[in-house]
Structure 1
Amino acid sequence: MLEFTSRYLGTDAKGTRTFFVISLSSCIYWFLSIKGVIYEPFRQALGVTNAQLGFLLGVAGFVQVFGYLALGWIQDFLNIRKVIAFDLIGYGLIAMSLAIASHLPLWYLTIAFACFGLFGEALYWPTIQKSTRGLSDGVHQAALFSVQEAMRGAMGLFANMITLLLLMISLTPIAGARTAMVCYALLMIVFSVVVLHGIPDDFLHERRLASRRDQSAVVTQHQTSGVTLVRNALHMPIVWTTGLATMCGYTTYIAATTYTLPLLQQSFGLSDTQAAVYGLVNTGILPIVAALISGRIAKQFTDSPRWISLLFVACAACSIPLIVIPKHDSWLVVCMIVTCVLALICYATRAIYYVPIGEYDVPNDQAATVMSVASFLGYMPSFFAYPMFGTIIDRSITSATAYRIIFLIILLTSCAGAGFSVLGHRLIQRKQSRFS
């Protein structure tokens, strides 16, 4: 099994084991995933209002996106296993404080959620991307990222089931939420030990520094060249095509996976049972299936942007019937099927968002910086998409009107994403032909 997996991922047995440890470190996301399963108990456990929780999540998102740009370059010079372990410990300790303490002041919660954005995204995610990208050559990038995305999906499904189980066996919903919060915080801290033992100390480092004096000199040099590294990344066309395509894909992803369910409930009167089944399929099963299939298919293309552009076209094609279908109960099943297909396509695209950068053969010593800048562009919708879609729903005269507007936006962003992906394909082809 290990040999087959290594061959599929394009790495050796040691690299495969490292890959699994890196991928499993995504347990860092489990703490905030509680809100997606038991939102109200989680909010009450924190002792905040809906508006305050929205503000806290916005703080985390702000630190996340701008942290990519401000801190991503630093991670090209840090020890990978120590960064991941530090993120897990830092996140876990702060999460534990929220789990065991009640009636915390808003200023403390604000700092805590800012730290979540720092440890769980700004310092963590570019390191994971760099590590995954450096495990194999450009040919196997789609396999690496798609398998990793499938593992994240499977872990998310498992975490959701554990959260629901803890809720069911606890005396009160708030107690269930706090139990889950404690368990996931402890898991992060424990897994940091696994990271320190499972990832080689010299992973992706071609040489060690000879002395502390040399290390200090190198760090000083890197600090002064951080702006230059970011500027160099911004001058790479592949960063812009990948980042802007991801921005389009992420906007579509937010609409298809977050707002489809409430729109179906408001427009078609979806029952609670139907909503539960739909939600389980849409957020639990589809991500796993889509990621594995997408990575497998992407390997059949000369480069991933060609496959991504086709996914965007398919996404646009799904949005058209959703715009024109009458909002009557008789069309409910059809709309549920089409929206599930749309979500499947969005998950398939998400699995290989940043594969083009690996295929462009960006050097390992620049990978974190390049990934950070691309992530900064790609995840910008976390600022504007949620307020935009929420405003559309609140201010539309009817839910059917909001439904059509949102899927029209999906149509437009999908077309734009296809265009950026085609440009990315041409960049990769041009570079490959230059060195062939």
Structure 2
Amino acid sequence: MAEQATKKLDKKWISFGTLMLGAGTIYKLGFLKDAFYVPMQEFMGLSHTQIGTAMSIAGLISTFGFLASIYLTDRVSKKIMIPLSLISICLCGLWLSTFPSYGTFLLIYCLLAVCADMLYWPTMLKTVRLLGNEDEQGRMFGIMEAGRGLMDTIVAFSALAIFSALGSTAFGLKMAILFYSAVPGVIGVILYFLLEPDEKTAKKTDSGETVSANKQAWEGVVRALRNKNIWLVSFNVFLVYSVYCGLTYFIPFLEEVYALPVALVGVYGIINQYGLKMLGGPIGGYVTDKVLHSATKYLRIAFAIVAVILAVFTFLPHQSMGIILGMMITLTISAFVYSMRAIFFAPMDEVDVPREITGSAMSLGSFVGYLPGAFMYAVFGSILDHFSGITGYRIVFAVMAVFAVGGIFLSTYILKTIGKQKAST
């Protein structure tokens, strides 16, 4: 019996680790520009406008993809959905490596968005939640985010090494794309054999007739949409992500106001994008599970700290401050936001979202929560264009602080809701 439990535990963590590898690689092709922007222009004949248009259209597809996944994630087994999405990403990459016409390039980017955001991401979140019990939610989501960041870094640098080793040529870019394609393909095959099919219980009507799988899935969608707690958690994710969008402007702020040297830009970027992501996730998860025993409590405390630091930072005399202090304050804000981003779906367990509608809940949470990515960058960019110099950045930081204050109030309300639920049981 003990041996069987150990084997089950081992398979759980092996499945979790492989999911983490998939999460760290599935977006590499869709964000090929991050490492290969100039080579894409040079060897694929793409202009700035064409690359930007492809990213915008893919983002639009992703938004509607999250909506569609509210139905799909609980209708199709994760054993099918996750391998299908990863292997489909691989096939799209093989197609992309042929350096197709721009029309085909756009089609491939739309398919990549469908595979990553409609098929994989909500199903992965659902699977992570179901793999862990209530006391493990913070750690599992935290480790997932850290591992995803580590895998992202390793794969990106490996692809760059392949490109450089082949002389930074068109052939080198083709091989890098093929590498980005092969990794999720292999992981998809492995996960097909590791993941267990979803447990389906036959549901019957009062007259004894079996309810079809389609009807059960639609009932799950309706239950998710009517569940107030899912909406509360989703809007908390929305507030975290709104603050997260503002982190993008720390580097231009430090460059423009503090005259951050070029050498330090790279160091700051690596620490901010990779180091803090890998540290923030596990730390946020550990504090959530072992210290506070509540992801919502952690989010409320982190929101409060971020709001205070941002409010103070907004009005500091930056022109007379040292660059190291400016870097330390912005990195501290980023560290807290990354730790929040790692565990912001964990409260789904706290608010007692039924496990049988986890897929619908995570899809709805993804749709609402990641929505700021569709417009907040434009809002912040517009502010900086209309208010030049430090004034624009002060307004951006103040807006971020307002979102954080909103998070304090919403987290407090969610905690009161949780307390009422526990009192009534």
Alpha-carbon shift at residue 427 of structure 1 (Å): 2.0
Alignment CA distance shift 1:394-1:190 (3 Å): same
1:205 aligns with one of 184, 189, 199:
199
1:62 aligns with one of 49, 56, 60:
60
Alignment CA distance shift 1:168-1:322 (3 Å): farther
Distance 2:419 2:139 in 1: 19
Identical positions, percent: 23
Alpha-carbon shift at residue 208 of structure 1 (Å): 9.0
Give the count of matched residue pairs: 413
Is residue 78–residue 127 contact of structure 2 (8 Å, CA) maintained in 1? yes
What is residue 388 of structure 2 aligned with on the other side?
397
Distance 1:67 1:409 in 2: 29
2:260 aligns with one of 266, 270, 290:
270
Distance 1:354 1:248 in 2: 12
Alpha-carbon shift at residue 374 of structure 1 (Å): 1.4
What is residue 79 of structure 1 aligned with on the other side?
77
Alignment CA distance shift 1:253-1:326 (3 Å): same
What is residue 213 of structure 1 aligned with on the other side?
none
Unaligned 5+ residue runs, structure 2?
204-209
Distance 2:321 2:172 in 1: 39
Unaligned 5+ residue runs, structure 1?
210-215
Alignment CA distance shift 1:100-1:407 (3 Å): same
Does residue 110 in structure 1 map to residue 106 in structure 2? Answer: yes
Alignment CA distance shift 1:17-1:413 (3 Å): same
1:381 aligns with one of 353, 372, 378:
372
Distance 2:410 2:43 in 1: 43
What is residue 18 of structure 2 aligned with on the other side?
21
Alignment CA distance shift 1:273-1:170 (3 Å): farther
1:421 aligns with one of 405, 411, 414:
411
Distance 1:416 1:234 in 2: 22
Distance 1:363 1:46 in 2: 48
1:141 aligns with one of 132, 137, 141:
137
Alpha-carbon shift at residue 148 of structure 1 (Å): 0.9
Q: Residues 331-382 of structure 1: CA distance to partner in whole angstroms, max 9, x if unpaired?
A: 3211111111111111100011111112223222211111111111101111
Is residue 142–residue 352 contact of structure 1 (8 Å, CA) maintained in 2? yes
What is residue 408 of structure 1 aligned with on the other side?
398
Is residue 130–residue 368 contact of structure 1 (8 Å, CA) maintained in 2? yes
Alpha-carbon shift at residue 46 of structure 1 (Å): 4.3
TM-score of the two chains, using structure 1 as the length reference: 0.88
Deviates more, 1:319-328 or 1:418-427: 319-328
Is residue 303–residue 428 contact of structure 1 (8 Å, CA) maintained in 2? no
Alignment CA distance shift 1:296-1:302 (3 Å): closer
Alignment CA distance shift 1:404-1:166 (3 Å): farther
Alpha-carbon shift at residue 403 of structure 1 (Å): 1.4
Query: How does 1:19-418 map onto structure 2 within 5 Å?
Result: 19-26=16-23, 27-102=25-100, 104-105=101-102, 107-172=103-168, 176-200=172-196, 202=197, 204-206=198-200, 218-222=212-216, 226=218, 228-256=219-247, 258-299=248-289, 300-328=291-319, 330-398=321-389, 400-418=390-408
Distance 1:99 1:269 in 2: 40
Is residue 45–residue 178 contact of structure 1 (8 Å, CA) maintained in 2? no
Distance 1:254 1:31 in 2: 21
Alpha-carbon shift at residue 263 of structure 1 (Å): 2.1
Alignment CA distance shift 1:280-1:197 (3 Å): same
Is residue 138–residue 295 contact of structure 2 (8 Å, CA) maintained in 1? yes
Distance 1:391 1:167 in 2: 36
Question: Secondary structure of the equivalent of 1:29?
Answer: coil
Q: Residues 378-399 of structure 1: CA distance to partner in whole angstroms, max 9, x if unpaired?
A: 011111111112222233222x
TM-score of the two chains, using structure 2 as the length reference: 0.90
